[in-house]
Structure 1
Amino acid sequence: MARNLQTIGFDADDTLWHNERFFKLTQDRFAELLGDYTERDHLDTRLVEAERRNIGHYGFGVKGFVLSMIETAIEVTDGRVPGRVIGEIMEAGRDMLAHPIELLPHAEEAVASLAESHHLVLITKGDLLHQERKLAQSGLGDWFDAVEIVSDKQPDTYARIFARSPGGPAAAMMVGNSLKSDVAPAIAAGGWGVYVPHDLTWALEVAEKPEHPRFRELPDLGALPALVAEVE
């Protein structure tokens, strides 16, 4: 008899390792650079607007974020932003791409434990080269049976990935820190959605918790193996 749960998908950024903290630090640096031109709240609002406009053009990740900062800097200064500021924004982006990987609590233990009994898939969005580098540095790569770096996370994304996995969508669980990208679309695709909150959440990833029997919330990844056993 097949198990109820055969495949477990993991998000990467802010689920297995820290990521949003580096975006916040860079945004703080961006605000300092533009402090003579506009107030912080206005700058933050304009930056989020630029990011929302640009996702379809640049995708998710550091490179799109840097381009959105440059666009915002040009807008809030009416085209008068000094070349020095543009250079510092680009340098900040390079720093983000080079930051070391720091695993979140219980990430390694949870992944290693579940890899012994389940088909594991890493499902992440962002820049291909950057995500591959982060996975390599994390030391977790060998535990995953498949790695999917996607342009976006929609129900059809999960349906397609889980259809290639043991048991199909009905026997799959997605674990992540984003209700919008990791949890809700995985449930819509027919799987389970497990929400593991992170202290920092990007404005464009904020969403309401779904009211659904296949939704679960955990305080951290340390509680995941027990949940998987419960679902089994």
Structure 2
Amino acid sequence: MPSARKIDLIAFDADDTLWHNEHYFRLTEKRFTELLAGYAEPEHLLDRLLQAERRNIHQYGFGIKGFTLSMIETALTVTGNTVPSSVIAEILKSGRDMLAHPVNPLPHVHETLEDLAGRYQLVLITKGDLFDQERKLAQSGLGDLFDGVEIVSTKTVETYRTIFTAMGAEPGAAVMVGNSLKSDIVPALEAGAWAVHIPYEITWALEHHDETPTDEKFRTIRDMGELGGVLAEIG
């Protein structure tokens, strides 16, 4: 007899949904402002850095490598191309340190995924650098719990529809779980899926989204430990 439940597939964002990530960017930005303290105030430096990231994201994509290149560009700009080579070396070291940072899963992530694996199809859908995202997934110890892993350049309505279809699920039978309203929640809802928002303590400026969705398929929870209750409610 076929199952009467509504959900067949659960998709998860990675950074700041399964493990800490944005925290390391903020620490590196602080170090960046310290390195260039003699040239500009921290707020000015961070504003120029954000402008560089916004310009460069279509060329460099999301992730640490693009962030590091944007820091170097900003350092050259604010110093009139006179930034000492020692500062450039420190910026590069900061980027390497980020690429080696430990992977710390967020509360209730591992046990929740273990509980859901085998009962639903689980797929990871994340933006970022291919090698870095693969590294973090491997170090997290979560990789074997997923039926599929998709590392994409952007998250759009078409991105979600394509992945859900490839996994054999209709959008209406899929749930997207993530911390970013802009990338994880809104386009998934527009694709016809359910969406569960788990806010993270820090949101990157380019991921800000001011309007809270009113879609009946939208839910917000405090942490991954509450996901099971939402799935039970959906059916």
Please give the TM-score of this superposition, normalised by the length of structure 2: 0.97
Q: CA deviation at 1:167?
A: 2.9
Q: Deviations over 1:152-180 (max 9, x none)?
A: 11111001001122431110000000000
Alignment partners' CA distance in 2, 1:110 and 1:78: 51
Alignment partners' CA distance in 2, 1:144 and 1:230: 23
Matching of residue 9 in structure 1 with residue 11 in structure 2: yes
Alignment partners' CA distance in 1, 2:134 and 2:64: 14
Alignment partners' CA distance in 2, 1:58 and 1:102: 26
Q: In the TM superposition, what are the counterparts of 1:109-120 in structure 2 within 5 Å?
A: 109-120=111-122
Code of the residue aligned with 2:66 in structure 1: it is G
Q: CA RMSD in A?
A: 0.8
Aligned to 2:213: 210
Aligned to 1:123: 125
Alignment partners' CA distance in 2, 1:209 and 1:107: 24
Aligned length: 232
Code of the residue aligned with 2:145 in structure 1: it is W
Matching of residue 219 in structure 1 with residue 222 in structure 2: yes
Alignment partners' CA distance in 2, 1:193 and 1:36: 46
Secondary structure, aligned partner of 1:124: strand
Alignment partners' CA distance in 2, 1:227 and 1:114: 13
The answer to which of 144-153 and 206-215 deviates more is 206-215
Aligned to 2:33: 31
Q: In the TM superposition, what are the counterparts of 1:117-156 in structure 2 within 5 Å?
A: 117-156=119-158
Structure 1 ranges of 4+ moved more than 6 A: none
Q: CA deviation at 1:114?
A: 1.1
Alignment partners' CA distance in 1, 2:151 and 2:70: 22
Alignment partners' CA distance in 2, 1:68 and 1:159: 32
Q: Percent identity?
A: 58
Alignment partners' CA distance in 1, 2:194 and 2:45: 38
